[in-house]
Amino acid sequence: MKKNKIIIVMIFILIIVGFSGCTQQDSSSDESTDQTNLSSTENIQTILAKADTIKSMYYEIIASITMDQYGTQNANMKIWQKKPYMKAEITSFTNGITNTIKVIQRPEGTYNYDNQKGEYVLTEENETFVTSLQYFDNEMIKKYMNNQTQTNFETETIDGKKATIIQYTPINDSYPMAIKIWIWNEKGVPLKATFNMSLGEITMLMDFKFIDYSFSDIPDSTFSV
């Protein structure tokens, strides 16, 4: 069961990696408690559309995944994205054990780094990861916003950056979930996110902080396999 638990956690870490086509600084000390409504001169659709114009992006994610039955697992992620490519290096910390997973997504499929072979290997084992990206895909969020009547969204200032708060609950009979995302108004990408879900008797709470964004061009060689 412990092995299955780790696999589940890593799958949902990767779900977040796929969000925004692209989950800023630790906001615990710099986050404003004041909340205001989104300006009428800029709606949520125009904010989300800004992410579509980003051609290349690097960022890091600090993640905390808590399950009542198993405690908390922490992970740090480095993400390189340049459509249609994505590379992720995920380092997890559990019970004093450090584990690193390297993944590259290319148009022809997903590659996992095989430590024994010393190379990236095309795999078919990430189907759950690929299909679950719908919950965090930027286009899906925009469609969700088109299909609901909410027009006033709360905003918060995180590390000096104005963010609009989006909340939604995807329809899924297998595992109920609730998603809350703080979208950076200037760039249309996340500053932080929370994810609550239930897997049968297992409840999972995930907190993500997005830091060190860079929008410089990434060489194609970064995604070579």
**In angstroms, rounded to a whole number, what is the distance separating the alpha carbons of residues 167 and 212?**
24
- The tokens describing 171, both together, are 């329809």
**Which residues, in sequence order, are CB contacts of 148 under 8 Å at separation 6+?**
none
3-state SS string over the chain?
Answer: CHHHHHHHHHHHHHHHHCHHHCCCCCCCCCCCCCCEECCCCCCHHHHHHHHHCCCEEEEEEEEEEEECCCEEEEEEEEEEEECCEEEEEEEEEECCEEEEEEEEEECCEEEEEECCCCEEEEECCCHHHHHHHHHCCHHHHHHHHHCCCCCCCEEEEECCEEEEEEEECCCCCCCCEEEEEEEECCCCCEEEEEEEEEECCEEEEEEEEEEEEECCCCCHHHHCC
Q: Is the pLDDT of residue 11 over 70?
A: no
Q: Is the pLDDT of residue 171 over 80?
A: no
95-144 residue pLDDT tens: 778 888 898 989 998 899 999 999 999 987 654 344 444 455 677 677 76
pLDDT band with cut points at 50, 70 and 90 for residue 58: very high
pLDDT band with cut points at 50, 70 and 90 for residue 145: low
**Which pLDDT belongs to residue 20?**
39
CATH 2.60.120.560 is held by the domain 2-223? no
Give pTM, 2 decimals. 0.78
pLDDT top residue among 216 and 93: 216
Taking residues 48-77, what's their average pLDDT? 87
Highest mean pLDDT among 21-35, 60-74, 180-194: 180-194
**In angstroms, rounded to a whole number, what is the distance separating the alpha carbons of residues 12 and 195?**
10
pLDDT band with cut points at 50, 70 and 90 for residue 69: confident
Q: Is the pLDDT of residue 19 over 60?
A: no
The domain ranges of the chain are: 2-223
| % pLDDT > 90, the chain | 29
- Kind of pairing between the strands at 202-214 and 56-67: antiparallel
**Which pLDDT belongs to residue 31?**
53
**In angstroms, rounded to a whole number, what is the distance separating the alpha carbons of residues 218 and 212?**
15
Q: Is the pLDDT of residue 56 over 90?
A: yes
**Which pLDDT belongs to residue 25?**
34
